[in-house]
Amino acid sequence: MNIKMFYDQNTATFTYVVIDEKTKKCAIIDSVLDYDQFAGKTQTTSADTVISYIEEHDLTNEWILETHVHADHITAAHYLQSKIGGKIGIGAGIKKVLQTWVPIFEIENDVSVEGEQFDALFDEGEIFYIGELKVTVWHTPGHTPACVSYLIDGNIFVGDTMFAPNLGTARCDFPGGSASLLFNTIQRFYTLPDETVVHLGHDYPAKGNAPLSSITIGQAKQENMQIKPDTKLEDYVARREARDATLAVPKLLLPGLQANLRNGQFEESKKSGLQFIKIPVNAL
């Protein structure tokens, strides 16, 4: 297995290309579609960089994987699929997220609450393959009900569940989020061997520092500022909820969720063909 990491500075997001060197098959995890919220314009610079890497290395893309429905960036899944193929996969918990947000945006006309817009809805423990690489799906809720992690040959891709040790864990104050569930998720990670490599979803380094994309389970167990193996549930929940109460709404929450429920697409007018984002007022 080979892993290529890409970092989108605007959203502090890591995108990964996971490669089976034997078969030259690959998968993309947590892609980014560039979006200027002030101008309402998209660009494909980040996604095109990933495409170029795949094409230059003669890889065949099999999967476009999401760890959850992102609130801080827009996925490039639809764009990537149109250019290099691959099935779009996400955790089966996406149905709970769809049932929450589709009515708020009133987009029932083009967004299925059953998740039919995704090619695969993964259940806990489900196994699939990237070439000959075995991927095991872990349902890892807490940040959102739809969060999953992908365990591949001593590596686990955890999305927004766990952060670098100095940041701790994801926030849990989104609809369907739960600090208690995230506590259980992190403690489950700690059952993995210490040498397991954890590939993170984001990092926010200080100016001049490189972003940290991966740690080991052993490092996390010793250094995570919010939760260690001996942390008590009630202590973690109290700290996490107190921290969440101080956090602002992610700046791309409304456009991001709305597009990501459609794999990175926007609502299209039948009359003009223009694409739109709805901003529900006083709905959150």
| CA nearest neighbour of 1 among 156, 158, 160, 183 | 156
Q: Which amino acid is at 189?
A: F
Q: Would you list the DSSP string of 10-41?
A: TTTEEEEEEEETTTTEEEEES--BEEETTTTE
Whether the predicted model's global pTM rises above the 0.75 cut: yes
Per-residue pLDDT tens listing for the chain (284 residues): 999 999 999 999 999 999 999 999 999 999 999 999 999 999 999 999 999 999 999 999 999 999 999 999 999 999 999 999 999 999 999 999 999 999 999 999 999 999 999 999 999 999 999 999 999 999 999 999 999 999 999 999 999 999 999 999 999 999 999 999 999 999 999 999 999 999 999 999 988 999 999 999 999 999 999 999 999 999 999 999 999 999 999 999 999 999 999 999 999 988 899 999 999 998 87
Q: Could you tell me the domains of the chain? A: 2-251 (3.60.15.10)
> Could you give the CA distance from residue 253 to residue 97 in angstroms, rounded to a whole number?
13
- Residue with the two structure tokens 């059953």: 114
> Could you give the CA distance from residue 264 to residue 135 in angstroms, rounded to a whole number?
24
CA atoms within 13 A on the CB side of 161: 32
